[in-house]
Structure 1
Amino acid sequence: MKILFLLAFILPIITVAQTKATVTIKNNSALDRKETVVTIKWATISNAYPQIDTSNFVVINGNTKKQIAYQLEHKGTTAIQNLLVQVDLKAKSTLTLLIQKGKPAPFTAKTYARYVPERLDDFAWENDKIAFRAYGKALEKTEGDAYGYDVWVKRIDKMILNDRYKRNEYHIDHGDGLDYYHVGYTLGAGNMAPFVNDTIRYSANYHQWKMLDNGPLRSTFQLTFDTWNAGGIKVKATKTISIDAGSQLNRIENNYTFDNNKPLPVVVGIIRREKPGVISLNEQQGVMGYWEPTEKEGTTGVGSILTTPVSTMSVNKTQILAKTTVNNNEPIVYYSGAAWDKAGKITNSKQWFHYLNHFYQQLQNPLIVIVK
């Protein structure tokens, strides 16, 4: 009788564990989290819910009882690596999500990236806040060549890249924003380059690309740069860039390989305009912000946040620079991006610098995720 009783007690627990998973997200900080994309390791979900059908499940907000959008992140592999969800979470609060069988509602893409061969090998990417592009091999040695990241400002949350390229009028605002950001021979909106003998050692443009994931909540891709001479040091780079829905900033992971056992000095840079703007430098926290002078098209804020120790931040006539070091074949991660005042969310330097500082604090206080 004791054996039968134990079986009757255990079986229902096994059945429940196989029909759903519960995700608890804790925000123990004093920071509100808005439109935050949370990464949940897929292995923890499949362990809690081994019978999950990847093509037939929903994620339910425990408070509202409504479905929320999600993404299966692969990171360029066939196997699922993470489940991504976007949530709002008040300071010192907890959110419960239920993962269970069901037909997911259609999700509107909030991020997008693609190679643009029809425009001289551009690689462009965007989310529901802002857009960017990097320049490819076909643009090298032409009049329009540039070294850094370009910004495409936008005032709507829809994806706009394809429409702008199709119109071929991305310097004109058709109600969704435009491209008025000038890059030239600088690091533009937060590119990184070796800094050898007090000189920026620019590479050529990217020559290879690879898409790792493409929405609806995160788009990630790799750009590879051929070996170049960085002040007597042969350097090769692979840059992995991710943009999340709801964020003004990209996550950028660079991997440099070079023929030197010593750490390689590098700088993250932002182009500086001739007219006066507002600059905010925080070497201790690695936060660098710039509110550009206002143009007829509006005002752009650009900023970068380094996660490695910054030795110096400096300002010259053409660029704002943050200097750090990288080791051979060891990834270095930083964040960089932009905002536009005519989008209506961030409209002055104070708000932009607050956004950057708040983003830094979020990095220092990650959310806690528990799966059962």
Structure 2
Amino acid sequence: MNRRVAFLAAALIAAPVLAQDAPRSGLPPVDKPLPPTPDKTPRAAVMLADYRYDDLMWENDRTAHRIYGHALEAAEPPSGSGVDSWGKNVAWPFMDRQLRTGDQHAYHGEGIDFYNVGAGRGAGGLGIWYDNKLWVSRNYRSYRILKNGPDVADFQVEYAPWPVDVSRKVWETRRFTLPLGTQFTRMVSTIRSDKPGPLVVGIGIGKRTTGAGGDMTVDRSRGVLSWWGPQDRDHGRMAVALRVDPGMIVDVKQDADNDLVLLRVTPGKPFVYYSGSAWNLGQGGFRDRAAWDRYVAGAQMNFTPPPAGS
């Protein structure tokens, strides 16, 4: 592991939870097992699903996510720039084999996608909060994979300009970094604008991603939003959390689709936040809300942006 990756991994060290303690009971019945993987070594991975409207997927030994490409906007409206989260109960990559089944919403023995982003922010998408409304981008337009495992999944995407009411336009570059051994992806966002002046960014957790309800824990002093989702009869629960720099917080609010933490940012200046998720039947050992909240609150975060060009 080089010094840069070691630094990123160290920034994400959290309270000790075994990564291999996925349960062997209580899982949904298997619907057509996935083709077996040739390598069961735990690893982090990022890949483009060019066979499925350019989904970008990333995972490690604990958690799995995707964001949506521009082509999906026409195929599955109202596709947007929220962050999707999948449950997984194996330590090796499974998302590509799961997606290629054509039925990623079924349980094929290694994980499942029952988290519905919809038009919300999902697990850590963002927008600009202006005039008591969240103004959001469409799907990502371009990407660059910086490192595809085995110890870290690291990539960067660009979001095309979008309007903030009629007052200004903004656009975003965001870097995603997920090392092995953590539930949290480190996000480094740089938002630029056609006009000067600060912006208020809203980072969200979707309200109805696995059904109505769930329990939200907010600790503004530590920059924590931690959600423990409702029980799905067949699939269990998803959990999502955000960690932000407490010194940047303007407020914690809700809109129709999301719970939001609002941060004051400067256009052109990168800022760091963390988005994490877990499946209560999967990797990480989070079987109840208290265990998830303890992990989220105890995670050691580094909110210093990387040097320019790194």
TM class by smaller structure: 0.7 to 0.9
Out of 42, 45, 54, which is 1:121 matched to? Answer: 54
Aligned letter for 1:192?
A: L
Instruction: Report the Cα distance in structure 1 between the residues aligned to 2:142 and 2:9, rounded to whole angstroms.
Output: 31
- Superposed displacement of residue 165, structure 1: 2.4
Q: Deviations over 1:212-236 (max 9, x none)?
A: 1111111110010111212221111
Moved more, 343-352 or 328-337: 343-352
Instruction: Report the Cα distance in structure 2 between the residues aligned to 1:156 and 1:132, rounded to whole angstroms.
Output: 14
Pairing 1:278–2:219 present: no
Query: Could you say which residue in structure 1 is the equivalent of 2:291?
Result: 351
Instruction: Report the Cα distance in structure 1 between the residues aligned to 2:140 and 2:287, rounded to whole angstroms.
Output: 33
The alignment's TM-score, normalised by the length of structure 2, stands at 0.81
**Structure 1 residues 147 and 364: alpha-carbon distance in aligned structure 2, compared to 1, 3 A threshold:** closer
CA contact (8 A) 1:189 1:303 kept: yes
- Superposed displacement of residue 352, structure 1: 0.8
**Structure 1 residues 246 and 155: alpha-carbon distance in aligned structure 2, compared to 1, 3 A threshold:** same
Query: Could you say which residue in structure 2 is the equivalent of 1:216?
Result: 150
Which 4+ residue blocks in structure 1 deviate beyond 4 angstroms?
A: 81-87
Pairing 1:303–2:237 present: no
Aligned letter for 1:327?
A: T
- Superposed displacement of residue 168, structure 1: 2.1
Secondary structure, in 3 states, of the residue corresponding to 2:161? strand
- For structure 1, list consecutive stretches of 5 or more residues without a partner in the other structure: 1-70, 74-80, 92-105, 367-372
**Structure 1 residues 208 and 340: alpha-carbon distance in aligned structure 2, compared to 1, 3 A threshold:** same
CA contact (8 A) 1:107 1:216 kept: no
Correspondence 1:324-343 to 2 at 5 A: 324-343=263-282
Out of 221, 227, 238, which is 2:173 matched to? Answer: 238
Aligned letter for 1:182?
A: N
Instruction: Report the Cα distance in structure 2 between the residues aligned to 1:309 and 1:326, rounded to whole angstroms.
Output: 8
Correspondence 1:14-33 to 2 at 5 A: none
Q: Deviations over 1:30-61 (max 9, x none)?
A: xxxxxxxxxxxxxxxxxxxxxxxxxxxxxxxx
The alignment's TM-score, normalised by the length of structure 1, stands at 0.68
- For structure 2, list consecutive stretches of 5 or more residues without a partner in the other structure: 16-38, 305-310
CA contact (8 A) 1:239 1:255 kept: yes
**Count of residue correspondences:** 272
Pairing 1:181–2:133 present: no
Query: Could you say which residue in structure 2 is the equivalent of 1:166?
Result: 100
Fraction of identical pairs, as percent: 28
Secondary structure, in 3 states, of the residue corresponding to 1:350? helix
Larger Rg: 1
CA contact (8 A) 1:134 1:148 kept: yes
Out of 63, 67, 89, which is 1:130 matched to? Answer: 63
Pairing 1:289–2:226 present: yes
**Structure 1 residues 160 and 90: alpha-carbon distance in aligned structure 2, compared to 1, 3 A threshold:** closer
Higher relative contact order (CA 8 A, sep 6+): 2
Q: Deviations over 1:179-212 (max 9, x none)?
A: 0000001111111111111111111111100011
Secondary structure, in 3 states, of the residue corresponding to 1:329? coil
